[in-house]
Amino acid sequence: MMLVEADGKALLRAVGIPVPAGADAPGPWMVKAQVPVGGRGLAGGVVRCASRAEVEAATRRIVGSRIKGHTVDAVLVEQAVGGQERYLSVMVDPAGYGLRVMWSAQGGVEIETAGSTQTRLCPPHAAAVAEALADLIAEEPEAWRRQVADIGRALAELLIERELALAEINPLFVSAAGCIAGDAKIVVDLNAIERQQSIADLIAARPGVYADANRKLAEGFDYVELDPMGEIGLVTTGAGLSMMVIDEMTARGAKPLNFCDVRTGQMRGSPVRLMRVLEWIVAAPALKAVLVNIFAGITDLSEFAELLATAIDRTPALRVPVVARLVGRNAAEAKRILAERHPTLFVTEDLEEALARVTAL
Amino acid sequence: MIGSLSRETPVIVQGITGRMGRTHAALMRAYGTNIVGGTSARTDVREAAGVPVFATCSDAVLATGATVSVAMAPPHETLAAVREALAAGIKLVVTVAEGVPMHDAIRIGRETRRAGALWIGASTPGMAIPGEIKLGFLPDVCLRPGPLAIMTKSGTLSYEVGYRLAEIGLGQSLWVGVGGDPVKGVRFADLLPVFLADERTRGIVLVGEVGGTEEEDCAEAYARLGAGKPLYALIAGREAKEGVSMGHAGALVHGESGTLASKQARLRQVGARVFDSLDAITRACGQDFHALKTAR
């Protein structure tokens, strides 16, 4: 999961990598939307301001807007800095079982298409990354080469100690007066969070920005809100199948509200998890229907049907039609149970039929 | 090694006295997998799921000659479980846990490679050669011997694909869940030569997800290896939200990398057939392999 820039910069600052001064410093300033996506500048989420009045106007304009599916609830205001732009990153290399260090003498937003980056694959040790980077920056002027090397080493140590997937500085401003991280793109590993308290604290401190991650950490399963004005709530299991259902529904012109992997195997006879999901779903203002999709390889669907019926009983605010597609172990018995307890529920074993039904509502 | 697994292959289950270990050891045995033993930290249990329980992998391997292990260990204990398996001389280890930390996975990858062993996982339901062997917990309702080899990042989405194909009479020659984590054992591109060489396999089904570059890497390998068998691909996550992991840690899109468009384009360039829906991939396989359909 990607951190917003302000949190990424807090991690950089903590390991001694220089970042721009804050809003209290003299201008000009940058006002930057704090959403965990790339391309904020092109989406109007990054503005350079010459006066305090401009800062306030930009802040008012950006906060509350939506960028790539994320509602902006905060901006970072900091002193604008200058210098030549470079690109520096260290990341986990999945296929190479190591760390990949990347360097480019041209920083900026076009970096991914510019084709000017140079990379090295290293064993997972900071010393190896530092050695590889020294090679990549050999052409850099003496005036800042040493400081870039120090920043690279600190970045590698940060990645290893905090178990990050990616630590990227783009642009890294370089000049004889010093180097400063203009941006910070940090991707954390939520699977390591139990032993990374400082990352857990950052996530807990922003319940709005990291709503999906906080929900996952608190509840033990995945629920991602896709569109607050979504019309179809999903109670689904399996990450891949849930994504596919969302893709197919969207292709048919429907507006799914959420992604979800409820993990029926972890419910252990309690309807609480289903009640939580239904509670979030019924809070959506544009809700039209709920689709339940469970492919039960191991889970006994008759047990699941009882839990679902109970969860619906205990969610009085649920007033939209529910379509349940249940296939696998004991599907017939599940259908009988639901027909008895909730006769208005539409139950089928066929996903195509369920999708057609729910998108027609 | 994957292609030559059979009902004879001796398999142990690490963590066999746990809830999952016991359940799935029994289900694997019922399917026909030659489960010869298991390991557990519990010293009071001598037998579970009808097979002997050992204190360590080394003891289990010495007593049974097992070459394969299915590790039913929690995510933060998976690294230790794999190390124990490798030290015992296990040649293929399947780790099913969801949530193995990425930096642990780097170590597992490096150490299995150094040991000359294979690793499948993590975050996977495992693999199967229908009619022969099942390692993990792929649902029996989807498994059926036949001509298609499935490689997949997602458990559930592959269940849906396998189930629909089985319903129309098309079973599987091999089925390997590589798992939904970014850092993993066997990857799509590693499986491709195995599937191409496998005599039972007539067509290859790739079930992918946004994030990472495995689909693109597999496309490169497909072009390089000569595209000897048709490749059908279904990739989920067109509507994935940028910057957020969609359930699987590996299903994370940031910037242009890992997008559906990149994966589909690369696969199409090398001659794979890429589909946007479950129905479309099922119908295409049904048409192309009509002559190979079998009745249940």
- What tens-digit pLDDT sequence spans chain A (361 residues)? 899 999 999 999 999 999 999 999 998 999 999 998 888 988 899 999 999 999 999 999 999 999 988 889 999 999 999 889 999 999 999 999 999 999 999 887 666 555 678 999 999 999 999 999 999 999 999 999 999 999 999 999 999 999 999 999 999 999 999 999 999 999 999 999 999 999 999 999 999 899 889 988 898 899 999 999 999 999 999 999 999 999 999 999 999 999 999 988 888 899 999 999 999 999 999 999 999 999 987 788 999 999 999 999 999 999 999 999 999 889 999 999 999 999 999 999 999 999 999 999 8
* Token couple for A149: 């090397």
Find the CB nearest B110 among A97, A226, A259: A97
Tell me whether B166 touches chain A (CB under 8 Å): no
> Is the ipTM, as predicted for this complex, more than 0.90?
yes
C-alpha–C-alpha distance, residues B122 and B178, integer Å = 7
Closest partner residue to A298 among B137, B236, B241, by Cβ? B137
Contacting residues of A for B143, CB less than 8 Å apart: none
Tokens of B166: 């089985």
- Three-state secondary structure call for residue B31: helix
**CB under 8 Å to B198, separation ≥6 — which residues?**
B3, B149, B173, B174
pLDDT of residue B295: 79
Identify the pLDDT of residue A361: 83
Positions of B marked catalytic:
248
What is the reported pLDDT for B176? 98
Q: Considering only CA atoms, which of A165, A141, A137 is closest in space to residue A153?
A: A137
CATH value of B139-290 in 3.40.50.261, 3.30.70.890, 3.40.1370.10, 3.90.1170.20: 3.40.50.261
Measured distance CA(B60)–CA(A90) in Å, rounded: 41
- The domain at B2-121 falls in which architecture? 3-Layer(aba) Sandwich (3.40)
Q: Note the pLDDT of residue B199.
A: 96
Architecture of domain A1-20+82-219: 2-Layer Sandwich (3.30)
CA dihedral A118, A123, A128, A131 (to 10 degrees): -30
- Shortest distance between the Cα of A76 and any Cα of chain B, in A, equals 18
Q: How far apart are CA A29 and CA A26, in angstroms?
A: 8
Whole-angstrom distance, CA of residue A64 vs CA of residue A93: 36
Residue A268's region, left for phi above 0, alpha for psi from -120 to 50, else beta, is: left
Evaluate whether B2-121 and B139-290 have a shared fold: yes
Q: At what angle do helices A5-14 and A142-161 cross, to 10 degrees?
A: 100
- The superfamily CATH assigns to domain A21-79 is ATP-grasp fold, A domain (3.30.1490.20)
Q: What is the pLDDT of residue B294?
A: 87
| Tokens representing residue B271 in the block | 């001659």
- The reported pLDDT for the residue numbered A110 is 67
- Domain layout of chain B by residue ranges: 2-121, 139-290
For each of chain B's 296 residues, which pLDDT tens digit applies? 999 999 999 999 999 999 999 999 999 999 999 999 999 999 899 999 999 999 999 999 999 999 999 999 999 999 999 999 999 999 999 999 999 999 999 999 999 999 999 999 999 999 999 999 999 999 999 999 999 999 999 999 999 999 999 999 999 999 999 999 999 999 999 999 999 999 999 999 999 999 989 999 999 999 999 878 999 999 999 988 776 777 776 666 655 667 899 999 999 999 999 999 999 999 999 999 999 988 76
Q: Which CATH superfamily is domain A221-360 in?
A: Succinyl-CoA synthetase domains (3.40.50.261)
The alpha-carbon gap from A250 to the nearest alpha carbon of chain B, in Å, equals 8
Set of chain B residues whose Cβ sits within 8 Å of the Cβ of A256: 239
Q: Do A102 and A113 touch, CB atoms closer than 8 A?
A: no
Question: Nearest by CB to B246, which of A185, A259, A329?
Answer: A259
pLDDT of residue A191: 94
Task: Tell me whether residues B242 and A259 touch, CB distance under 8 A.
Answer: no
Give residue limits of the domains in chain A.
1-20+82-219, 21-79, 221-360
* Burial tier of B278 (Cβ tally within 10 Å: 0-12, 13-18, 19+): buried
- What is the per-residue pLDDT across B167-212, written as a single tens digit (0 to 9) for each? 999 999 999 999 999 999 999 999 999 999 999 999 999 999 999 8
How far A344 CA sits from the closest chain B CA (Å)?
A: 26
pLDDT score recorded for residue A266: 86
